[in-house]
Chain A
Amino acid sequence: TQLLEQSPQFLSIQEGENLTVYCNSSSVFSSLQWYRQEPGEGPVLLVTVVTGGEVKKLKRLTFQFGDARKDSSLHITAAQPGDTGLYLCAGATTDSWGKLQFGAGTQVVVTP
């Protein structure tokens, strides 16, 4: 079983501050996805990274995939209240490409 550990579990910050969420594993993933989930809804895909060392930017969100494809980070610049939500990382391996392994999530709260 490949475990994806997310840290921190909970993060509360003020509007305008920056934050980073981490996703770590001892296993190698062929792709890693980041989702945001809000109460009563399903996870919504933010980004998919597939190449070691890859960096992707989505407005104020920056995603990085580790060189060894075992870890990833999500950095939010100048957080806004609309960024509040549960951030989930999920990885897929080449031998079970249809099966995502999810982390437990990081609950982010951005207060005005």
Chain B
Amino acid sequence: EAGVTQFPSHSVIEKGQTVTLRCDPISGHDNLYWYRRVMGKEIKFLLHFVKESKQDESGMPNNRFLAERTGGTYSTLKVQPAELEDSGVYFCASSQTGTGTFGYTFGSGTRLTVV
């Protein structure tokens, strides 16, 4: 089966601009997650979708971040306006169940650099 696909793989934008990241989960996976790793820190949770609904968005840093998953398929994460501290690698993951007992499949990530 195809894995989790993320677009773009790299993005360099100027402070104040808008960037939209996309994630295509494994087909049939109802659970989709966004994580990010900023320089020197551990990977941190951003939010969790079950189908098109936000199950947990406690990790979203502020209202400059907007995640959507229309139709319960692919998801987008928009950052508007981007700030320097938003730089990092954004990972998307998906799973069949959300209990954590079967692990998640991660995409290769989008490396975002805000200059």
Contact = CB atoms under 8 A, between A and B. Distances in A.
A43 B56 contact: no
Nearest to A100: B45
Nearest to A3: B42
Nearest to A40: B108
A107 to B, nearest CB: 13
Contact of A99 (B41, B45, B103, B109): B45
A98 B98 contact: yes
Nearest to B43: A102
B69 to A, nearest CB: 14
B99 A97 contact: yes
Interface in A58-112: 88, 90, 92, 96-105
On chain A, which size bracket covers the interface? 20 to 34
A50 interface: yes
A81 B99 CA distance: 33
Contacts of A35: 106
B101 interface: yes
B44 interface: yes
> SS class of chain B's interface: helix, strand, loop or mixed?
loop
A99 B31 CA distance: 11
A25 to B, nearest CB: 13
Contact of A102 (B44, B55, B102): B44
A112 to B, nearest CB: 27
Interface string B78-115: 00000000000001010000111111111111000000
Given A88-B43, A98-B55, A99-B48, A43 B31 contact: no
Contacts of A45: 103-105
A11 interface: no
Contacts of B103: 33, 45, 47-48
B59 interface: yes
6 contacts: A4-B42, A31-B101, A33-B104, A48-B103, A88-B43, A99-B59
Interface of A: 4, 30-31, 33, 35, 40-45, 47-48, 50, 88, 90, 92, 96-105
